[in-house]
């Protein structure tokens, strides 16, 4: 049994959000398109996420453990395993009067245990997930932006729009399966006649084939090409967060396209730092302004504002400007926090020294 929690590096009580974050991190790390990617690890991570992100599948996995895994893989019914008949000797059944097909027992049991029997549901074909990275400015991460990137991937053919048919021609019923998308087979075995249903290899389950094939994609409906992708980046994105574009991954013949994962890298800012939904900055004050109070012009991400400095402020005292932080919901934003730094003079003139001496005498 595979320990899906261990694969994603989360505990058994992990929330959906924790599972999702762990998956995004590992999917980006192991993606085959990466220089140091690992296709085997990527498939394991994706398999674990498909189970643990689904409440029903996760419940069954937690309840049945290895039994659930065996059911998913088509293994472990009555002691049989797919591809596991090597230890049985069927030679005693092979005689002149018996006309059983022993050579395809593994295929029969594979269909039997994976839902291929009697018109069972067939798993939908799905293209490969892919990933990329983009760089945005600090301001763009706060307010949101959009990007267009060029990605080379397997996409639907632009000539036939993915149908595989020559433009202007129609699709016709598949002759191999009579439009059913599946082919039923009956085989005689030591267990009797067993019927199984398989996807038609000619139409790949669609029931239709092009009357005339598209010359551009040779009837496949997909081909590898460079495609421009528009990415909408929402306000409040954090550095390293992932955006998932459903169907933005690689297309597949007669199937659903995979997903595109975009890692967003946010550049640092010379003045502002982010703390939750608040923006934090330092402001250097002259000693006289700290004592007497004044107004300072501040350049925020929204534009210039004037901030009133009250009399007698302390070092590291924080002023809060409402609504100048990071948007986090409709019409709501965090605040701008201004940390005050009092700048002491490195040299003091004679007149200033006399004034400071007078203040000292007064206990200030």
What pLDDT does residue 352 have? Answer: 75
DSSP 45-97: HHHHHHHHTSHHHHHHHHHHTHHHHHHHHT--BTTB-TT--TT---GGG-STT
Measured distance CA(288)–CA(302) in Å, rounded: 29
Q: Out of 212, 246, 265, pick the residue that ends a domain.
A: 265
Q: Mind listing the pLDDT tens digit for each residue in 51-105? A: 889 888 888 888 775 455 554 444 433 333 333 443 344 444 444 444 444 444 4
Task: Give the chain's domain count.
Answer: 3
User: Same domain, yes or no, for 125 and 73?
Assistant: no
Within this chain, do residues 316 and 354 fall inside the same structural domain, yes or no?
Answer: yes
In angstroms, rounded to a whole number, what is the distance separating the alpha carbons of residues 192 and 350? 112
Question: Helices H, strands E: what count in the chain?
Answer: 9, 17
> Could you tell me which residue, 14 or 119, shows the higher pLDDT?
14
Percent of the chain at pLDDT > 90 equals: 38
Q: Domain check: are 114 and 61 in the same one?
A: no
Task: State mean pLDDT over 3-21.
Answer: 89
CATH of the domain at 282: 2.60.260.20
Whether 88 maps to a domain, the answer reads: no
What's the pLDDT at 77? 36
The top-scoring range by mean pLDDT among 184-193, 287-296, 301-310 is 301-310
| Selected residue with higher pLDDT from 352 and 292 | 292
Residue 337 pLDDT: 97
Domain housing 285: 273-361
In sign, the C-alpha dihedral spanning 56, 62, 64, 66 is positive
What mean pLDDT do residues 311-330 have? 92
Residue pair 75/113 in contact by the 8 Å Cβ criterion: yes
- Residues 327 and 281 placed together within one structural domain of the fold: yes
DSSP state of 126: B
SS3 content of the chain, % helix, strand, coil (to 5): 25, 30, 45
**Cβ neighbour number for residue 48 with a 10 Å cutoff:** 24
pTM over 0.75: no
Task: Dihedral sign for Cα 136, 141, 146, 151, please.
Answer: positive
Q: What would the pLDDT profile of 182-239 be if each residue is shown by its tens digit? A: 888 777 766 567 778 888 888 888 888 888 899 999 888 899 999 999 999 999 999 9
* Tokens found for residue 345: 């003079």
What pLDDT does 281 receive? 97
* pLDDT tens sequence across 322-344: 999 999 988 899 999 999 998 88
Q: Tell me how far apart the alpha carbons of residues 91 and 150 are, in angstroms, rounded to a whole number.
A: 60
Question: What mean pLDDT do residues 138-166 have?
Answer: 92
Q: Which residue has the tokens 């997903």?
A: 259
Q: Are 197 and 117 in contact (CB under 8 A)?
A: yes
């Amino acid at each position: 049994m595979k320990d899906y929690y261990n694969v994603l590096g989360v505990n058994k009580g992990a929330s959906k959000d924790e599972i999702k974050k762990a998956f995004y991190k590992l999917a980006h790390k192991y993606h085959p398109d990466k220089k140091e990617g690992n296709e085997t690890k990527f498939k394991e991570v994706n398999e674990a996420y498909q189970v643990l992100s689904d409440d029903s599948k996760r419940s069954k996995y937690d309840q049945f453990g290895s039994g659930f895994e065996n059911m998913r893989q088509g293994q472990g019914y009555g002691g049989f395993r797919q591809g596991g008949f090597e230890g049985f000797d069927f030679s005693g059944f092979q005689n002149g009067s018996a006309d059983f097909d022993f050579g395809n027992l593994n295929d029969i049991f594979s269909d039997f245990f994976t839902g291929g029997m009697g018109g069972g549901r067939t798993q939908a074909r799905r293209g490969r997930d892919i990933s990329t990275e983009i760089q945005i400015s600090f301001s763009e991460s706060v307010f949101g932006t959009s990007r267009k990137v060029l990605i080379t991937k397997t996409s639907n053919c632009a000539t036939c729009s993915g149908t595989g048919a020559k433009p202007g021609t129609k699709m016709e019923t598949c002759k191999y399966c009579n439009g059913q998308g599946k082919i039923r087979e009956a085989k005689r075995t030591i267990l009797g006649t067993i019927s199984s249903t398989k996807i038609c290899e000619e139409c790949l389950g669609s029931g239709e084939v092009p009357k005339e094939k598209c010359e551009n994609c040779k009837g496949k409906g997909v081909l590898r090409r460079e495609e421009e992708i528009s990415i909408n980046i929402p306000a409040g994105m954090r550095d390293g967060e992932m955006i998932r574009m459903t169907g933005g991954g690689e297309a597949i013949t007669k199937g659903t396209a995979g997903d595109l994962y975009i890692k967003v890298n946010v550049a640092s800012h010379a003045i502002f730092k982010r703390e939750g939904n608040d923006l934090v900055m330092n402001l250097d004050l002259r000693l006289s302004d700290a004592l007497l109070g004044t107004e300072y012009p501040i350049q925020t991400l929204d534009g210039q504002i004037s901030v009133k400095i009250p009399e007698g402020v302390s070092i590291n005292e924080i002023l809060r400007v409402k609504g100048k932080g990071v948007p986090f919901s409709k019409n709501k934003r965090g605040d701008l926090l201004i940390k005050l730094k009092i700048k002491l003079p490195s040299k003091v003139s004679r007149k200033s020294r006399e004034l400071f001496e007078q203040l000292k005498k007064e206990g200030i």
